[in-house]
Amino acid sequence: MEGSLIRKEVTPFLVMFGALIIATMIIDFLLHQFELVWIGRYLGIPGTILILLSFFYSMRKRKMISFGKPKNMLILHEILTWMGALMILVHAGIHIYAILPWLALIAMLINVISGMTGKYLLDRSRRFLAEKKTLYLQQGLSEEVIEKKLFWDATTFDLMKKWRMVHLPISLAFAVLGISHIISIFLFWEWI
């Protein structure tokens, strides 16, 4: 049970987010290498659809729908959101030249980070702290000594718990900006 909360729990989270960014760069590179950049333009559509499908978990959680097991719906939510975000990041590439798509992209990235915080960090971190405290109690350490030993891990955990205050408003901001971007595409994009 050695190691800090940051190394044991935060680092894997950062690796998953880094994997999303690296996968985006690899796909973007390959599209450019094989002169298939035009595909990226259209990946925003399936990416958006995948993210919209991921909302079934939120609907299940709030009992708006009754099908599916919550745990399975959560796993589906995570996969669909990650894949949708990947497609939208490839869609955005480095070719964004208007403010609205930038804002939607930033809101999506913050939303992905926020969602991953809830998924990867909170439950695991809570268990990590409880296990570490149990270990220290078994070693016969006093509550005061345990509190000092767990101070930075507990502080890190308390900061991570604040993710709920960010996730829903950022989801709404992303939805508004994404819808605005889609509407502007329908209004101004030359489809032919």
pTM of the model: 0.70
Summarize pLDDT for 124-154 with one digit per residue, the tens. Answer: 788 888 999 999 999 999 999 999 989 988 8
Which tokens in the block code for residue 148?
Answer: 């000092």
Contact between 43 and 90 (Cβ < 8 Å): yes
Q: Where are the domains of the chain?
A: 5-188
Residue that wins the pLDDT comparison between 40 and 86: 86
Confidence of residue 50 (pLDDT cuts 50, 70, 90): very high
Average pLDDT, the chain: 85
